[in-house]
Chains A and B, each alone.
Chain A
Amino acid sequence: MGGFTSVNPAEFLGILPEILLVLWASALFAVDLIAGQSLTRRGLGVLSAGGLAVILLITLLTAPAEPQVVLGGMVRNDFFTTAFRVIFIVGAALTALVGIDFRPMRAGGEFFVLVTFSAAAMSLMAGANDIILLYLATETASFSLYLLTGFWRGNKLSAEAALKYFVFGAVTSTAMLFGLSLLFGLSGGNTNYAAIARALLDPALRVPVTLAALLVLVGFAFKTSAVPFHFWAPDVYQGAPTPVAGFISTASKAAGFAILLRFLFYTLPPGTSEASLSWATLMQPIAILTMVLGSLFALVQSDVKRMLAYSSIAQAGYVFVGVSALALGVANRAEAVAAVIFYLATYMLTNIAAFGALGMVEYRLGSTDIKAFNGLGRRAPYLALAMSAALLSLLGAPPMVGFVAKLIIFREAIGANLIGLVVIGIITVLISVAYYLNVVRAMYVERSEDEQKPLIVPAPTTVVLFVTATGILALTAISPPFWEIALQAARAFLGA
C-alpha cells in the first residue's frame, strides 16, 4: 500500500489540461452565480471561449515530448492525448460561441459549464490507460451531453431527444461495463491496460475474451455512432439544440474513436493473439455498413439537420476505414493512426461550421428543411459561403481540407491492401455528392420570395464561421506540416 510519502505531486502535471478545464468549468459556474444579471449571456460565452483558448495554449506549451504514464497508471499522457485534447478544447470553444447565438436555447451559465466540463471528460477518455478511468470518463462525458441535449427548454423535441439519447447511452455503456467487468476477471483482477494485455495472451481465454471484447465494442460503437448502433443519432441530432448536435457529432465522436483505438490497441494488440484478430476482422464490415447506410439514408432526407446527422454517420465510416487499416495493415500502422487523427481534426472544424450555419438558419427561419436554404446565398452571403465550404469539405472536394483527409485515409487503406474497402468508400463519396450539393444548389440556384430580407448573423457566430471556413481552406495549404504533427501523435500512440 503506497502511502502519501511516495507521491510525486509533479505527476499532476500530466493531466494539467484536464485540471485546468475542470477548474475553469467551476470558475464559470461561480462567475455565473456571483455576476448574475450584470454579465450578459454573450459576455459569459465569450469569457468561457476565451478561457478555453488560454487552456489550449497551455496544452500546446506543455505537450509531452516523451509518453509518460501518470497517477498510478491511470492516464497515459502522450502526444496522441494532446492531439485529441486540442480537438476537444477547440470544439468546446467553438460550441460555446455558437451556443450564444442559438437564442431560443437561452444558453445560461450551466451550458458553458457543461460544455467545458465535458471537454475535460473527453480529454480523460483520450488519455485513459485503465478500464476504471475509461468507464468513468466516458460516462462523465455522456451525462454532460445527455443534459446538454435537453437544454432547449420549452422545445418538446429537445427533451424527448435527450431521454432517447440517455436510454440508448445508458444501455450501451452498461453493456460495455459488463464486458469490462468480465475482462477484469479474465485478467485476474487487473484494471490497467498493459496488465490486461499480458493476461489476455493466454490462448485458453480466447473465446471468453472475444465475447467480453464484443460487449465493450458495443459501447464504442454507440459513441462513434457506428452501424448497427447508429439509430439514435438522427433523432437526437434533430431534437438537440443545433450547437449541441454539432458538439456531439464532432468532439464526442472523436472521443469515441480515441477510446476505441487506445483500448483495443493496448489491451488486444493486433497480431499478438488470436482474440485480437476478432476485433480487427470486425472493423472492415463496420466501416462498410456505416459508410453505405449513412450515405443512403442521407440521400433521402429533405430536412438538412437529419441529412447532416446521417452524413456524420457516414463520416464515421470513413474513420473506420482508417481504423481497419490500423487493424489489418502491418507496415503502415503509424500512418493509419495519423490518418484517423487528421480526419477527426478536420472533420471537427468542418462539421462545427456546418452545424453553426445550420443553427443560425434554424433560429432565424424556424425550420431546417431544405426549403429554408432557398436563396440563402443572397440573404446571408458569408454564412452561405461558410456553409458551402463546410459541405464541400464534408464531401471531400478539392481544395477543401476534407479532400486531403479522405485522400490520406484511402491511401493508408490501400497501403494495408484494403482495395475493396476503398472502392466502396469512393462509391459512397460519389453518392454523397448528391445530398451535399443539393444544399449548395438550394442556397445559390433556388430563389425565394424573402430574398430581399437579409438574414443577420451575430458576431460570435460570424467569428466561428470565419475561423472554421478559413481553417478548412488554410489547412489544405499547410497540410504537410499538419500531417507531420498527426504522424508524431501516431508514433507516440504506438511507442511502447
Chain B
Amino acid sequence: MTLQQVIFIILAIAVIGSALFVVTTSNLFRGALMLIVAFFGVAGFYVLLDNGLFAVAQVMIYIGAISILIIFSVMLTRGMQAMIPRNAQAGSVAIAAALLFLILLLAFGPFRLVVDLSGVPILSALFRTESARVLGGVPWQFANREVPETYIADFGRALVDLNQFLLPFLLVAFLVDAVLAGAIYIARQRKPAEVIAEREAIAKEEAEELAALQPQPTAPTLPQGAIASTADH
C-alpha cells in the first residue's frame, strides 16, 4: 500500500465519519463544526487529485463562506432548534439511503457482478433486461494523462471564452445578484412603522377605488373583511 493510498483511506474515514456525525448529532453547533472537518477532508481529496486550485477554493468558499453562514444561522435560530433531532420517518429514510448507497456501490464500484434481473417484475421492465447484466466495473474511458501545467490558465480562459463557458459564467453572475436582492428583501427586519404605513397604503388604495365607484358624498364603507388577509403580526 502506497503512502497516497493510506492518506486516501484516512481522509475517507474522516470525511464519512464527520458527515455521519453531522447528520445524527442533536447539537447543531457541533454538527456545523464537524461539517468543516468534512469540507477539509474533501479539500484533501482535491489535493490527491492534483488539483490545488480547487482545494484552495474549497477551503475558501466552503469553509470560509458557507460554513460561516451555517454557523451564523445556527446561532441566530437558537430558540427554533428542535430537541428531537430526527423526524418520525428517520428509520425508513436510513434504510432508503443505505439502499441507495448499496446500489451506487454495486453499479459504480470496482467489483463486476453478473445479475439476472429478467425474473424480477419491476426491475426487468426498468432495465429492459431480457438477459443477465453486468453490474460494476464500468469501462471508463481513462485518459492516462498528466494534468497540463497550464490547467489554471486554461480554466480561466475557458470561463470567458464565448465558445466555451462564457454564457454559464454570466448566468451565475446574474444569479448571485438576483438572489442577493431577493434574499435581502425577504430577510430584512421591518419596522412596525413600516408595517403600519403599508396597511394605511392598502386602505387608501381601497378607499380611492370605492370613491371612484360611487362618486356620491355618502361615506363609503369597506367591504366586510376587505383587509382581513393583511393581518400582520
Contacts and interface: CB of A to CB of B under 8 A. Distances in A.
Interface stretch (B34-42, B61-69, B81-89, B224-232): B224-232
A228 B108 CA distance: 26
B205 to A, nearest CB: 7
Contacts of B179: 143-144, 147
The residue in B168, B175, B202 that gathers the most chain A C-beta atoms within 10 A of its C-beta is B168
A369 interface: no
A139 B227 CA distance: 35
Interface string A1-24: 111101101010001000000100
A148 B227 CA distance: 22
B47 interface: no
Given A74-B167, A106-B198, A278 B178 contact: no
A108 interface: yes
B128 to A, nearest CB: 5
B127 A71 contact: no
Contacts of B128: 274-275, 277-278, 281
B103 interface: yes
B162 A144 contact: no
Contacts of A15: 167
Contact of B175 (A4, A136, A154): A136
A206 B195 contact: no
Interface of A: 1-4, 6-7, 9, 11, 15, 22, 25, 29, 71-72, 74-75, 103-104, 106, 108, 110, 113-114, 117, 121, 124, 132-133, 136-137, 139-140, 143-144, 147-148, 150-151, 153-154, 159, 162, 182, 185-186, 188-189, 199, 202, 204-208, 210-211, 274-275, 277-278, 281-282, 362-367, 450, 453-456, 458
B138 interface: yes
Nearest to B228: A366
B163 interface: yes
A282 B232 CA distance: 46
Please report whether the interface of chain B is mostly helix, strand, loop or mixed according to DSSP: helix
Given A132-B165, A185-B140, A137 B209 contact: no
A90 B233 CA distance: 35
Q: Report, as a range, how many residues of chain B touch the other chain.
A: 35 or more
A74 B168 contact: yes
A366 B229 contact: yes
A412 B198 CA distance: 52
Main secondary structure of the interface of A (DSSP, over half): helix
Interface stretch (B4-12, B22-30, B181-189): B181-189
Given A136-B168, A185-B140, A210-B127, A104 B108 contact: no
Contacts of B163: 2, 6-7, 71-72
Given A2-B162, A108-B185, A154-B230, 15 more contacts: A2-B161, A15-B167, A71-B167, A72-B163, A104-B202, A137-B171, A140-B171, A140-B174, A144-B178, A147-B185, A151-B186, A189-B143, A211-B103, A367-B225, A453-B224
